[in-house]
Amino acid sequence: MAQFRRDTSAFLPNGNTLFEVVMLGDSNGNIINSFGDAANIPIASGAVSGYSVVHKFGLVDGTASGALSTIWSPADTSSTLLYPWDFTPGTVTATSSSADDTGGGAGAQTIVIQGLDSDYNEIESTLTLAGTSASAASAEEFIVVHRAYIASGTTNVGTISINTAGAKVGEIAAGFGQTLMSVYTVPAGKTAFLSNLRVSSSKQTSSIIRLMVRPMGGVFRVQSTISLYSGTGETQFVTPLKITEKSNIDVRITGGTNNTVSCDFDMVLVDNSYL
Protein backbone atom coordinates (compact mmCIF):
# COMPACT_ATOMS: atom_id res chain seq x y z
CA MET A 1 0.00 0.00 0.00
CA ALA A 2 1.43 3.40 -0.99
CA GLN A 3 1.68 5.93 1.82
CA PHE A 4 1.69 9.68 1.47
CA ARG A 5 3.46 11.89 4.03
CA ARG A 6 1.42 15.07 4.30
CA ASP A 7 4.03 17.17 6.13
CA THR A 8 6.53 16.76 3.27
CA SER A 9 3.93 16.45 0.48
CA ALA A 10 5.65 13.37 -0.91
CA PHE A 11 5.17 9.64 -1.22
CA LEU A 12 7.50 7.60 0.96
CA PRO A 13 10.28 5.94 -1.04
CA ASN A 14 11.31 2.39 -0.23
CA GLY A 15 13.53 1.99 2.80
CA ASN A 16 12.55 5.20 4.54
CA THR A 17 10.30 5.77 7.56
CA LEU A 18 7.57 3.17 7.92
CA PHE A 19 4.15 3.72 9.47
CA GLU A 20 1.86 0.99 10.74
CA VAL A 21 -1.58 1.03 9.12
CA VAL A 22 -4.46 -0.59 11.02
CA MET A 23 -7.79 -1.33 9.36
CA LEU A 24 -10.92 -3.13 10.55
CA GLY A 25 -12.45 -5.74 8.26
CA ASP A 26 -15.45 -8.03 8.29
CA SER A 27 -15.37 -11.83 8.09
CA ASN A 28 -15.13 -11.63 4.30
CA GLY A 29 -12.12 -9.33 4.37
CA ASN A 30 -14.03 -6.18 3.42
CA ILE A 31 -12.64 -2.98 4.94
CA ILE A 32 -15.25 -1.23 7.08
CA ASN A 33 -15.60 2.23 8.57
CA SER A 34 -13.77 2.20 11.91
CA PHE A 35 -15.27 5.43 13.23
CA GLY A 36 -18.75 6.37 14.44
CA ASP A 37 -21.92 4.30 14.51
CA ALA A 38 -21.20 2.55 11.21
CA ALA A 39 -18.21 0.76 12.75
CA ASN A 40 -20.41 -1.04 15.24
CA ILE A 41 -22.92 -2.53 12.79
CA PRO A 42 -20.62 -5.32 11.52
CA ILE A 43 -19.52 -5.99 15.11
CA ALA A 44 -23.12 -6.25 16.33
CA SER A 45 -23.97 -8.57 13.42
CA GLY A 46 -21.13 -10.93 14.36
CA ALA A 47 -19.19 -10.31 11.14
CA VAL A 48 -15.98 -9.22 12.92
CA SER A 49 -14.21 -12.15 14.56
CA GLY A 50 -13.13 -11.63 18.15
CA TYR A 51 -15.41 -8.61 18.69
CA SER A 52 -18.89 -8.38 20.25
CA VAL A 53 -21.11 -5.68 21.73
CA VAL A 54 -22.76 -5.36 25.14
CA HIS A 55 -25.60 -2.97 25.96
CA LYS A 56 -26.50 -2.78 29.66
CA PHE A 57 -29.32 -0.82 31.26
CA GLY A 58 -30.87 -0.44 34.70
CA LEU A 59 -33.80 1.27 36.39
CA VAL A 60 -34.94 2.13 39.90
CA ASP A 61 -38.64 3.00 39.76
CA GLY A 62 -38.69 5.10 42.94
CA THR A 63 -35.63 4.92 45.19
CA ALA A 64 -36.33 3.72 48.73
CA SER A 65 -33.28 5.48 50.16
CA GLY A 66 -30.90 8.34 49.49
CA ALA A 67 -28.01 6.04 50.40
CA LEU A 68 -25.61 4.58 47.85
CA SER A 69 -27.39 2.01 45.69
CA THR A 70 -26.89 0.12 42.46
CA ILE A 71 -29.14 1.26 39.63
CA TRP A 72 -31.25 -1.90 39.44
CA SER A 73 -34.91 -2.60 40.11
CA PRO A 74 -34.45 -4.22 43.59
CA ALA A 75 -33.18 -0.84 44.89
CA ASP A 76 -36.78 0.29 45.30
CA THR A 77 -36.65 -1.62 48.60
CA SER A 78 -34.12 -0.57 51.23
CA SER A 79 -33.01 -4.14 51.94
CA THR A 80 -31.51 -4.64 48.47
CA LEU A 81 -29.77 -1.37 47.63
CA LEU A 82 -26.50 -2.80 46.31
CA TYR A 83 -25.90 -5.72 43.99
CA PRO A 84 -24.57 -8.56 46.22
CA TRP A 85 -21.10 -8.99 44.75
CA ASP A 86 -19.09 -11.88 46.21
CA PHE A 87 -22.07 -14.12 46.90
CA THR A 88 -21.12 -17.80 47.10
CA PRO A 89 -21.25 -19.27 43.57
CA GLY A 90 -24.23 -21.57 43.23
CA THR A 91 -27.39 -22.55 41.43
CA VAL A 92 -30.26 -20.06 41.13
CA THR A 93 -34.05 -20.31 41.38
CA ALA A 94 -36.87 -17.98 40.32
CA THR A 95 -40.07 -17.04 42.15
CA SER A 96 -42.90 -14.77 41.01
CA SER A 97 -45.26 -12.66 43.09
CA SER A 98 -48.08 -13.88 40.81
CA ALA A 99 -49.48 -17.39 40.46
CA ASP A 100 -50.07 -16.65 36.76
CA ASP A 101 -46.33 -16.82 36.06
CA THR A 102 -45.96 -20.59 35.81
CA GLY A 103 -45.46 -23.30 33.24
CA GLY A 104 -48.71 -23.53 31.27
CA GLY A 105 -50.07 -20.41 33.02
CA ALA A 106 -51.47 -17.15 31.67
CA GLY A 107 -48.31 -15.16 32.39
CA ALA A 108 -44.60 -15.85 31.96
CA GLN A 109 -43.75 -19.55 31.70
CA THR A 110 -39.99 -19.86 31.29
CA ILE A 111 -37.07 -17.47 31.77
CA VAL A 112 -33.46 -17.45 30.58
CA ILE A 113 -30.77 -16.40 33.05
CA GLN A 114 -27.36 -15.26 31.75
CA GLY A 115 -24.12 -14.69 33.63
CA LEU A 116 -20.73 -16.21 34.41
CA ASP A 117 -19.57 -19.40 36.09
CA SER A 118 -16.81 -19.61 38.69
CA ASP A 119 -14.20 -19.63 35.88
CA TYR A 120 -15.69 -16.38 34.51
CA ASN A 121 -16.98 -18.10 31.39
CA GLU A 122 -20.37 -17.08 29.95
CA ILE A 123 -23.26 -19.41 30.79
CA GLU A 124 -27.04 -19.36 30.63
CA SER A 125 -29.84 -21.44 32.11
CA THR A 126 -33.54 -21.80 31.29
CA LEU A 127 -35.95 -22.20 34.21
CA THR A 128 -39.64 -23.12 34.21
CA LEU A 129 -41.55 -20.87 36.59
CA ALA A 130 -43.76 -22.27 39.35
CA GLY A 131 -45.81 -19.22 40.30
CA THR A 132 -45.26 -18.07 43.88
CA SER A 133 -43.19 -21.18 44.63
CA ALA A 134 -39.51 -21.44 43.76
CA SER A 135 -38.65 -23.02 40.44
CA ALA A 136 -36.34 -25.98 40.19
CA ALA A 137 -32.71 -24.90 40.58
CA SER A 138 -30.54 -24.21 37.56
CA ALA A 139 -28.13 -26.90 36.43
CA GLU A 140 -25.38 -24.29 36.20
CA GLU A 141 -23.66 -22.50 39.07
CA PHE A 142 -23.38 -18.72 38.72
CA ILE A 143 -20.77 -16.37 40.15
CA VAL A 144 -22.64 -13.35 38.73
CA VAL A 145 -25.98 -12.83 36.97
CA HIS A 146 -25.94 -10.30 34.12
CA ARG A 147 -29.54 -10.46 32.97
CA ALA A 148 -32.68 -12.58 32.80
CA TYR A 149 -35.61 -12.39 30.40
CA ILE A 150 -38.92 -14.09 29.68
CA ALA A 151 -38.47 -16.84 27.09
CA SER A 152 -42.02 -18.17 26.70
CA GLY A 153 -45.58 -17.40 27.72
CA THR A 154 -46.41 -13.69 27.96
CA THR A 155 -44.78 -10.73 29.67
CA ASN A 156 -44.58 -11.45 33.40
CA VAL A 157 -47.66 -10.57 35.48
CA GLY A 158 -45.81 -10.45 38.79
CA THR A 159 -42.35 -9.45 39.94
CA ILE A 160 -39.93 -12.35 39.43
CA SER A 161 -37.08 -12.67 41.93
CA ILE A 162 -33.93 -14.58 40.99
CA ASN A 163 -32.18 -15.95 44.03
CA THR A 164 -29.20 -17.95 45.10
CA ALA A 165 -28.57 -19.13 48.64
CA GLY A 166 -29.07 -16.09 50.86
CA ALA A 167 -29.02 -13.43 48.10
CA LYS A 168 -31.24 -11.86 45.47
CA VAL A 169 -29.15 -11.62 42.31
CA GLY A 170 -31.76 -10.38 39.85
CA GLU A 171 -35.34 -9.22 39.45
CA ILE A 172 -37.75 -8.90 36.54
CA ALA A 173 -40.18 -6.14 37.52
CA ALA A 174 -43.84 -6.82 36.73
CA GLY A 175 -44.66 -6.04 33.10
CA PHE A 176 -41.06 -5.50 31.92
CA GLY A 177 -40.11 -8.97 30.67
CA GLN A 178 -36.40 -8.51 31.47
CA THR A 179 -34.13 -7.54 34.31
CA LEU A 180 -33.08 -3.90 34.69
CA MET A 181 -29.61 -3.98 36.23
CA SER A 182 -26.61 -1.78 35.46
CA VAL A 183 -24.01 -4.35 36.49
CA TYR A 184 -21.62 -6.47 34.45
CA THR A 185 -18.51 -8.62 34.86
CA VAL A 186 -16.06 -8.90 31.96
CA PRO A 187 -15.73 -12.57 30.95
CA ALA A 188 -12.42 -14.43 31.07
CA GLY A 189 -10.22 -13.92 28.04
CA LYS A 190 -11.87 -10.65 27.03
CA THR A 191 -11.32 -6.93 27.49
CA ALA A 192 -14.20 -4.42 27.55
CA PHE A 193 -14.00 -0.97 25.97
CA LEU A 194 -16.76 1.22 27.42
CA SER A 195 -17.78 4.05 25.10
CA ASN A 196 -20.58 5.92 26.87
CA LEU A 197 -22.63 6.28 30.03
CA ARG A 198 -26.14 7.78 30.09
CA VAL A 199 -28.32 8.44 33.15
CA SER A 200 -31.60 10.18 33.95
CA SER A 201 -33.24 11.33 37.15
CA SER A 202 -36.91 12.29 37.57
CA LYS A 203 -36.80 14.18 40.85
CA GLN A 204 -35.52 17.72 41.44
CA THR A 205 -32.92 16.68 43.95
CA SER A 206 -29.14 16.48 43.79
CA SER A 207 -27.98 13.06 42.63
CA ILE A 208 -24.50 11.76 41.99
CA ILE A 209 -24.01 8.80 39.68
CA ARG A 210 -20.78 6.82 39.95
CA LEU A 211 -19.37 4.40 37.42
CA MET A 212 -17.57 1.96 39.71
CA VAL A 213 -15.10 -0.68 38.50
CA ARG A 214 -13.35 -3.38 40.52
CA PRO A 215 -10.47 -5.16 38.74
CA MET A 216 -9.83 -8.77 39.62
CA GLY A 217 -8.25 -8.87 43.09
CA GLY A 218 -8.81 -5.14 43.62
CA VAL A 219 -11.46 -2.85 45.11
CA PHE A 220 -14.30 -0.80 43.62
CA ARG A 221 -13.22 2.70 42.64
CA VAL A 222 -14.91 5.40 40.64
CA GLN A 223 -14.07 5.76 36.94
CA SER A 224 -16.53 8.50 36.01
CA THR A 225 -19.25 10.61 37.65
CA ILE A 226 -22.35 12.47 36.52
CA SER A 227 -24.17 14.97 38.75
CA LEU A 228 -27.86 15.67 38.14
CA TYR A 229 -30.66 17.85 39.49
CA SER A 230 -33.37 15.99 37.55
CA GLY A 231 -33.02 15.60 33.79
CA THR A 232 -30.43 13.57 31.89
CA GLY A 233 -26.66 13.38 31.69
CA GLU A 234 -24.25 11.62 29.38
CA THR A 235 -20.52 11.01 29.16
CA GLN A 236 -18.99 10.04 25.83
CA PHE A 237 -15.54 8.50 26.20
CA VAL A 238 -13.62 9.80 23.16
CA THR A 239 -11.00 7.23 24.06
CA PRO A 240 -12.97 4.21 25.32
CA LEU A 241 -12.47 3.20 28.92
CA LYS A 242 -10.49 -0.06 28.97
CA ILE A 243 -11.75 -2.60 31.52
CA THR A 244 -9.78 -5.81 31.94
CA GLU A 245 -11.07 -9.37 32.13
CA LYS A 246 -12.89 -10.48 35.31
CA SER A 247 -13.49 -6.86 36.38
CA ASN A 248 -16.83 -5.96 37.99
CA ILE A 249 -18.81 -2.94 36.74
CA ASP A 250 -21.48 -1.37 38.97
CA VAL A 251 -23.24 1.97 38.27
CA ARG A 252 -24.46 3.47 41.56
CA ILE A 253 -26.40 6.52 42.72
CA THR A 254 -26.74 8.64 45.83
CA GLY A 255 -29.60 11.11 46.12
CA GLY A 256 -33.09 11.57 47.50
CA THR A 257 -35.85 9.06 48.05
CA ASN A 258 -38.74 8.38 45.64
CA ASN A 259 -36.55 9.19 42.65
CA THR A 260 -36.91 7.26 39.38
CA VAL A 261 -33.45 6.74 37.95
CA SER A 262 -32.33 4.99 34.78
CA CYS A 263 -28.92 4.17 33.34
CA ASP A 264 -27.43 2.52 30.29
CA PHE A 265 -23.95 2.01 28.90
CA ASP A 266 -22.35 0.40 25.85
CA MET A 267 -19.20 -1.65 25.48
CA VAL A 268 -17.29 -3.54 22.83
CA LEU A 269 -15.79 -6.83 24.02
CA VAL A 270 -12.55 -7.89 22.35
CA ASP A 271 -10.91 -11.29 22.69
CA ASN A 272 -7.55 -10.79 24.38
CA SER A 273 -5.88 -12.76 21.61
CA TYR A 274 -6.76 -9.88 19.24
CA LEU A 275 -5.10 -7.21 21.38
The letter for the amino acid at 83 is Y
Nearest to residue 229, comparing CAs of 206, 246, 197, 245?
A: 206
The whole-model pTM stands at 0.86
Give CATH superfamily name and number for 52-82+184-274: Satellite virus coat domain (2.60.120.220)
Average pLDDT over residues 187-212: 96
Q: Is residue 131 within 8 Å of 194, Cβ to Cβ?
A: no
Reported as a pLDDT band with limits 50, 70 and 90, residue 117 is very high
| Average pLDDT of every residue of the chain | 90
DSSP classification of residue 79 = G
Give residue limits of the domains in the chain.
1-49, 52-82+184-274, 93-179
Pairing of strands 69-70, 260-271: unpaired
**Taking residues 1-29, what's their average pLDDT?**
59
- Contact assessment for residue 182 and residue 267, using Cβ atoms and an 8 Å cutoff: no
Q: What is the pLDDT of residue 78?
A: 82
Task: Give the whole-angstrom CA distance, residue 31 versus residue 239.
Answer: 22
CB 25 within 8 A of CB 31: yes
**pLDDT band for position 142 (cuts 50, 70, 90):** very high
pLDDT for the residue numbered 46 = 85
Q: Provide mean pLDDT across the span 84-91.
A: 95
